[in-house]
Amino acid sequence: MDASIKLRVSNIEKSFPGVKALNKIDFSVKKGTVHVLCGENGAGKSTLMKIINGVYQPDSGQILIDEKPVKINNPMQARKLGISMIFQELNFVKELSVEENLFLGRLPVKKIGGSVDWKKVRRETEALLAAEQLPYSPTTQLKDLSVSDIQMLEIIKAVSNKSDIIIMDEPTSAITLKEVERLFAKIKELKARGVSIIYISHKMDEIFRIADDITIFRDGTVVDSRPKDQLDMETLINLMVGRKLTNTYPKETVAIGDDLLVVDAYNQPGVFHDVSFHVKQGEIVGFAGLMGAGRTEVMRALVGLDPLLSGRMSIKGKETSINNVRDSIEQGMVMLSEDRRRYGIIPVRSVMENTTLSSLHKVFNRFRRHKKEERRLVSDAFQHMKVKSPSLDTVIASLSGGNQQKVLLAKSMLRDPDVLILDEPTRGIDVGAKFEIYKLVTDMAKEGKGIIMVSSELPELIGMCDRIYVMAKGTIMGELTKERFSQELIMKYATGTIANDRGNTD
């Protein structure tokens, strides 16, 4: 018996057909603390959270709240026990208003007539919003709010449910730095109220800022569970991967060649303007900036996904224009999107079909498909990329995020592009897979390809790039060569603290 323990998980086991997802899991969360769970994708964190939230039932073991055993059969029961979960993907109905979303599934009903008591809904929503000092009105539609606003709503919803255990699954994967601060302030406040928070994250700096205790998962078991002050970053990473990652960024010096891609005065009114840059053979060029700075938009226009108003470009010294993705691919320029699920994978099809989708000419001749050739191409690529997939016919949606990303990278490489654009290539991917992706990128640079890396993780850019452009407000604010790389300087350009030094002000 320990009165300071809010939630205790004891000896939990869970198997799925053919695999033991969780093996004798023990850990406990203290009252009013943040308990961070980390581990590679597929280590069992999400399965455990789903058990605590009542989505899955454990095969054996116990969950105790306030040291009393409880049985959680479904998420509704979890909510009644004071457990709320905030998912990576937000659970709101975009077309409905703030108040409707807040009370979804528990709308108060009038005693007489049984109709919804909208006045009560409005009153309570206003009270909640006021208490949290949120500026929007109860009737604002969700689609008009930002991701972080919506996340705040999720938290408010959890609080209004009187939850004292809140599970957050990678809550910062889609919000800006400023919004992260807001979230952390909120978490602090919740802690002070005695709420226990279980926080799943891959981001090291975040973990060390916010955690009180850290539990590390690997292959369905708890490897270690310690207070934060007894851990440092390197130990943590080693515990997570179970092997030593000697160098976080496997950057190598590559001879830089001629200009591969030159972009001159790209414009798309209202989105970006006067964007000029160049990429050389063997060079990894970073694009830094805050969310909404226009980085992704420039890249999308570059490969013909979005229309362009004006601007010129040349590839390998030849002036050219790109009207759609087909043009871009044919000219030797391929982009890996930041939104894997939306612009990347065909979820219901096999990993093989996903891999060859941009290179169908290599697989089909005029009359038929070269079945063996296709399998050979893909298995070679998978070996090179270290893709872990049960078979070539496995449906891609069933792979982990890191492996999906590697499949998409394999797909890009199969096209053998001259210029490869990677938009947030390591978002939501575990440390081990990240390292492998960095290595692949380095190898590509060695082969003389030009690589554009758009990323919001500054250490990644600084570790991997030869040059970094910083964008803000739809244009390039600064260009940094290697000797000037620093997080502070990049942030200064990104936030506009230093004026544009490229002479293309408007």
Partner 1 sequence: MKFWYTARKKYSIHFVLVFLFIFCTFANPNFLSVNNMTNISTQLAVTTILAFGATMLIISGMLDLSAGSVLALSGVFAVSVYKSTGSMILAILAGILTGVVCNVINAVMISTFKTPPFIATLAMMAVARGVALYFTQGQNILQLGDFVKIGQGTLGIIPIPVIFLIAFGILTWYLLNHTRFGRSLYAVGGNEEAAVASGINVHKIKYTAFIINGIFVGIAGVLFMARVNAGLPNGAINYEFTALTASIVGGTSFSGGIGTAGGTLVGAFIVGFLDNIMNLNGVNSYLQQIIRGGIIALAVIYDIRTKGRRTKQILGNSEKKNEQKQTN
Positions touching partner 1 (CB under 8 A) are: 16-19, 21, 42, 219-220, 242, 305, 324-326, 328-329, 335, 337, 342-349, 353, 356-358, 360-361, 363-364, 367-369, 388-390, 394-395, 397-400, 411
Give least dist CB 16 to partner 1, A.
Answer: 4
Beta-carbon count within 10 A of 177 CB: 14
Nearer to partner 1, 44 or 474 (CB): 44
Smallest distance, Å, CB 44 to partner 1?
9
Give the whole-angstrom CA distance, residue 422 versus residue 372. Answer: 30
Least Cβ distance, residue 494 to partner 1 (angstroms) = 27
Q: Give the nearest distance from C-beta 434 to partner 1 in angstroms.
A: 16
Instruction: Quickly count helices (H) and strands (E) in the chain.
Output: 17, 20
DSSP state of 38: E
**Mutual angle of helices 431-446 and 401-414, in 10-degree steps:** 10
Whichever of 256 and 395 has its CB closer to partner 1, that residue is: 395
Which is closer to partner 1, CB of 138 or CB of 402?
402
Q: Name, in order, each residue with C-beta under 8 angstroms of 339's C-beta and a sequence gap of 6 or more.
A: none
Shortest reach from residue 126's CB to partner 1, in Å: 39
CA distances from 239 to 22, 41, 434 (A): 17, 14, 16
| Maximal C-alpha separation, the chain | 79
Q: What is the nearest approach in angstroms of partner 1 to the Cβ of residue 200?
A: 17
Closer of 91 and 365 to partner 1 (Cβ): 365
Least spacing, CB of residue 273 vs partner 1, in Å: 24
Nearer to partner 1, 143 or 369 (CB): 369
In 318-472 the beta strands, taken as DSSP E runs, fall at 318-320, 333-336, 419-423, 450-454, 467-472
Residue number, 60 or 324, with CB nearest to partner 1: 324
- Tell me the pairing of strands 318-320 and 310-315: antiparallel
Q: Cα separation of 308 and 318, whole Å?
A: 19
Query: Residue 360 CB, nearest distance to partner 1 (Å)?
Result: 5
| Helix or strand (DSSP H, E) at 14 | strand 5-16
Closest CB to partner 1 among 46 and 101?
A: 46
- Give residues with Cβ within 8 angstroms of 261, minimum separation 6: 278, 279, 313, 314, 315, 333, 418, 419, 450
Residue pair 30/165 in contact by the 8 Å Cβ criterion: no
Q: Is 430 helix (H, G, I), strand (E, B) or coil?
A: coil
Query: Which token pair is 269?
Result: 């009114």
Smallest gap, in angstroms, from Cβ of residue 364 to partner 1? 5
Rounded Cα distance between 208 and 36, Å, is: 9
Burial 95-118 (b: 16+ CB within 10 A, else e): eebbbbbbbeeeeeeeeeeeeebe
Nearer to partner 1, 111 or 342 (CB): 342
In the complex with partner 1, which residue's Cβ is closer, 35 or 340?
A: 340
| Closest distance of CB 399 from partner 1, Å | 6
Number of neighbouring beta carbons within 10 Å of residue 162 = 11
Report the residue number, 188 or 326, with the smaller CB distance to partner 1: 326
In the structure encoding, which two tokens stand for residue 347, read together?
């979820």
